[in-house]
Chains A and B, each alone.
Chain A
Amino acid sequence: QSALTQPASVSGSPGQSITISCTGTSSDVGGSNYVSWYQLHPGKAPKLMIYDVIDRPSGASNRFSGSKSGNTASLTISGLQAEDEADYYCSSYTSSHTWVFGGGTKLTVL
Chain B
Amino acid sequence: QVHLQESGPGLVKPSGTLSLTCAVSGGSISSSNWWSWVRQPPGKGLEWIGEIFHSGNTNYNPSLKSRVTISVDKSKNHFSLKLRSVTAADTAVYYCAKVGQLVGAHDHWGQGTQVTVSS
Contacts and interface: CB of A to CB of B under 8 A. Distances in A.
A75 to B, nearest CB: 13
B105 A48 contact: yes
B48 A51 contact: no
B74 interface: no
B100 interface: yes
**Size bracket of the A interface:** 20 to 34
A51 to B, nearest CB: 4
A55 B105 CA distance: 11
Contacts of B112: 45
A34 B48 contact: no
A3 B44 CA distance: 11
B65 to A, nearest CB: 10
Contacts, number: 71
B109 A98 contact: no
Given A1-B63, A51-B100, A36 B46 contact: no
B106 A48 contact: yes
Interface in B7-51: 36, 38, 44-48, 51
Contact of A34 (B47, B105, B110): B105
Interface in A18-36: 32-36
Interface of A: 1, 3, 32-36, 38, 44-48, 51-52, 55, 57, 89, 91, 93, 96-104
